């Protein structure tokens, strides 16, 4: 289920950060607004180890503004095959300090808060209280349950991952997600920690380092989706990864009714088995009609709207055109009030045109068509400007052809 963005956007980004995140901001689902949400976010990562290391690196690289690193250990040689945020020269150093240095080198604008202490039930709520969400890459059950219980008390989403040998699990737990999503917590799935000594540690059973990289990166993806409100997060789903066969499966999860976990424990049958439930398939949505293409004769009186990102519009937007990035539309899709207000401002910008039709354009018409599909169900007359017609519109101004820019953009994107 797609959830509302967790964090409000920050003010405008600086030039260096704009350049560093340029390829990511090109994603219309994310765009500049999503990038600013990341810049305003505060994310706590428990453990700078096998899962925490790649998660920390990709969160910083993605542009998360504040990252808390929680770890009470020092770097050891046996960590280095999977904890790739550290190097051989960091052996003996505190993991929080080593990780913080690496993150600042990777993303100079990031604020790193070092929590060089062991998190437990006595301090978990205090440490985590100032963050928007938490990633759990801890290596022991006591800490995992302390974090999970604190997130329930604080109402924070928890991105949870686990790796042992060649197998891994990943999910998102949240006791109080926005409606209509239903909350699921760690204790709904695993009511109590396993008995001491019943589950081997990585030191005893071993762990594939590359699998830690895969799952830690997936945890970062889930955090990015939560912050920006894009995609469907793993809330209510448990992802299971079997590296030796490279099979990825999924189990639906549900909250356990009051008293159910006690009954399960008494039966001795499901103490550590995920509580799952079948999900009915949603009825297929009717497909909206395909938006019409712009006709230079019939639609010439419409208002032209550039659905590219603002920096693209600033370079070669059509004279008199308005800017309405597809990324902004995708962010406003689930906020009807804000979307209506934005469209009203757009109508004001287009005052004086002969028709209410919006002629949407980008370069290749791909983003314009997606924007048209979003706007048409609202009763707005939209047209999609295809590349030949866009080239014809640009020709009198003597600007470079759209097709040549598209070719250059594709060549640049492959680098």
Q: What is the pLDDT of residues 100-114, one digit of tens each?
A: 999 999 999 999 999
Question: Quick count: other Cβ atoms within 10 Å of Cβ 193?
Answer: 16
Per cent of the chain over pLDDT 90 is 61
Q: Which of 221, 362, 372, 385 is catalytic?
A: 362
Alpha carbon of residue 191 to chain centroid: 28
Whether 379 maps to a domain, the answer reads: yes
- At residue 26's C-alpha, the angle toward residues 20 and 29, to 5°, is 120
Same domain, 240 and 318: no
Q: In what order do the strands lie in the sheet with 237-242?
A: 111-115, 66-70, 42-46, 133-136, 158-164, 167-173, 237-242, 247-252
Q: What is the DSSP letter of 8?
A: P
Q: Which domain holds residue 389?
A: 303-394
Same domain, 316 and 242: no
Q: What is the pLDDT of residue 275?
A: 44
Active site residue 151: no
Is the pLDDT at 282 greater than 60? The verdict is no
Residue 237 near residue 252 (C-beta atoms within 8 A) = yes
Same domain, 97 and 200: yes
Same domain, 211 and 353: no
Q: What is the pLDDT of residue 398?
A: 45
Whether 187 maps to a domain, the answer reads: yes
pTM: 0.76
- Report the domain count for the chain: 2
Cα-based distances in Å from 391 to 222, 357, 384, 385: 40, 20, 14, 10
Cα-based distances in Å from 348 to 211, 353, 356: 53, 10, 11
Interval 371-400 mean pLDDT: 82
CA-CA distance, 269 to 365, in Å (whole number)?
A: 56
Q: The CATH number of the domain where 238 resides is what?
A: 3.40.50.720
Given 252, 273, 294, the domain boundary residue is 252
Which of 18-22, 90-94, 264-268 shows the lowest per-residue confidence on average (mean pLDDT)? 264-268
Which of 3-17, 197-211, 330-344 shows the lowest per-residue confidence on average (mean pLDDT)? 330-344
Nearest to 217 by CA among 50, 32, 414: 50
Whether 286 maps to a domain, the answer reads: no
Q: What is the pLDDT of residue 210?
A: 97
CA-CA distance, 386 to 34, in Å (whole number)?
A: 27
Q: What is the pLDDT of residue 172?
A: 97
Q: In what order do the strands lie in the sheet with 322-323?
A: 292-293, 382-384, 358-361, 303-306, 322-323
Q: What is the pLDDT of residue 149?
A: 96
Whether 78 maps to a domain, the answer reads: yes
Look-up: residue for tokens 């302390």?
146
Given 252, 285, 318, the domain boundary residue is 252
Active site residue 362: yes
Same domain, 248 and 309: no
Same domain, 65 and 176: yes
Whether 274 maps to a domain, the answer reads: no
Q: The CATH number of the domain where 358 resides is what?
A: 3.40.250.10
Same domain, 44 and 152: yes
Q: What is the pLDDT of residue 127?
A: 95
* Cβ burial 93-130 (10 Å sphere, 16+ → b, else e): ebbbbbbbebbeeebebbebbbbeeebeeeebbebbee
197: helix, strand or coil: coil
- Give bridge partners of residue 323 from the DSSP assignment: 306
| 275 compared with 10, residue with greater pLDDT | 10
- pLDDT tens figures, 38-64: 999 999 999 999 999 999 999 999 999
Nearest to 305 by CA among 359, 369, 373, 380: 359
Residue 407: pLDDT band with limits 50, 70, 90: very low
Same domain, 339 and 241: no
- pLDDT tens figures, 123-139: 999 999 999 999 999 98
Residue 325 near residue 36 (C-beta atoms within 8 A) = no
Same domain, 336 and 189: no
Look-up: residue for tokens 């048209």?
372
Q: Which of 18, 125, 202, 240 is catalytic?
A: 202
Q: What is the pLDDT of residue 257?
A: 60
Interval 361-390 mean pLDDT: 88
Whether 413 maps to a domain, the answer reads: no
Whether 258 maps to a domain, the answer reads: no
**Helices and strands, counts by H and E, the chain:** 17, 13
- Give bridge partners of residue 115 from the DSSP assignment: 70
Same domain, 69 and 179: yes
Residue 409: pLDDT band with limits 50, 70, 90: very low
Whether 156 maps to a domain, the answer reads: yes
């Amino acid at each position: 289920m797609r959830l509302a963005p967790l964090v409000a956007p920050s003010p405008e980004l600086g030039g260096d950060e704009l350049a560093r995140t340029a390829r990511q901001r090109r994603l219309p689902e994310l765009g500049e607004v999503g990038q600013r949400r990341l810049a305003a976010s505060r994310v706590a990562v428990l453990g700078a180890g096998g899962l925490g290391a790649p998660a920390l690196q990709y969160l910083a690289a993605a542009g998360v503004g504040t990252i808390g690193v929680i770890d009470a250990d020092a770097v050891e040689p046996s960590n280095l095959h999977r904890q790739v945020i550290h190097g051989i020269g960091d052996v003996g150093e505190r993991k929080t300090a080593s990780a913080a240095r690496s993150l600042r080198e990777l993303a100079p604008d990031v604020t790193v808060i070092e929590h060089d202490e062991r998190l437990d039930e006595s301090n978990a709520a205090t440490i985590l209280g100032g963050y928007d969400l938490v990633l759990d890459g801890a290596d022991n059950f006591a800490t995992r349950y302390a974090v999970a219980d604190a997130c329930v008390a604080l109402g924070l989403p928890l991105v949870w991952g686990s790796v042992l040998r060649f197998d891994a699990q990943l999910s998102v737990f949240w006791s109080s997600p926005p409606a209509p999503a239903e909350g699921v917590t760690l204790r709904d799935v695993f009511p109590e920690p396993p008995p001491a000594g019943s589950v081997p540690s990585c030191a005893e059973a071993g762990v594939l380092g590359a699998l830690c990289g895969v799952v830690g990166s997936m945890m970062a993806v889930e955090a990015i989706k939560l912050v920006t409100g894009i995609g469907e997060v793993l809330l209510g789903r448990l992802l299971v990864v079997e590296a030796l066969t490279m099979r990825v499966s999924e189990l639906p999860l549900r909250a356990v009714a009051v008293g159910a976990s006690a009954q399960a424990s008494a039966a001795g049958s499901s103490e550590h088995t995920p509580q799952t439930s079948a999900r009915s398939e949603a009825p297929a949505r009717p497909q909206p009609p395909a938006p019409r293409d712009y006709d230079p004769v019939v639609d010439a009186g419409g208002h032209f709207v550039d659905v590219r990102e603002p920096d693209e519009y600033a370079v070669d937007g059509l004279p008199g055109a308005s800017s309405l990035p597809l990324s902004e539309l995708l962010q406003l899709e689930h906020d009807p009030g804000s979307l209506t207000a934005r469209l009203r401002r757009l109508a004001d910008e287009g005052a004086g045109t002969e028709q209410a039709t919006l002629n949407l354009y980008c370069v290749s018409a791909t983003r314009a068509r997606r924007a048209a599909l979003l706007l048409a169900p609202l009763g707005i007359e939209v047209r999609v400007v295809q590349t030949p017609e866009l080239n014809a519109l640009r020709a009198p101004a003597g600007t470079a052809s759209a097709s040549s820019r598209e070719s250059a953009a594709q060549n640049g994107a492959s680098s």
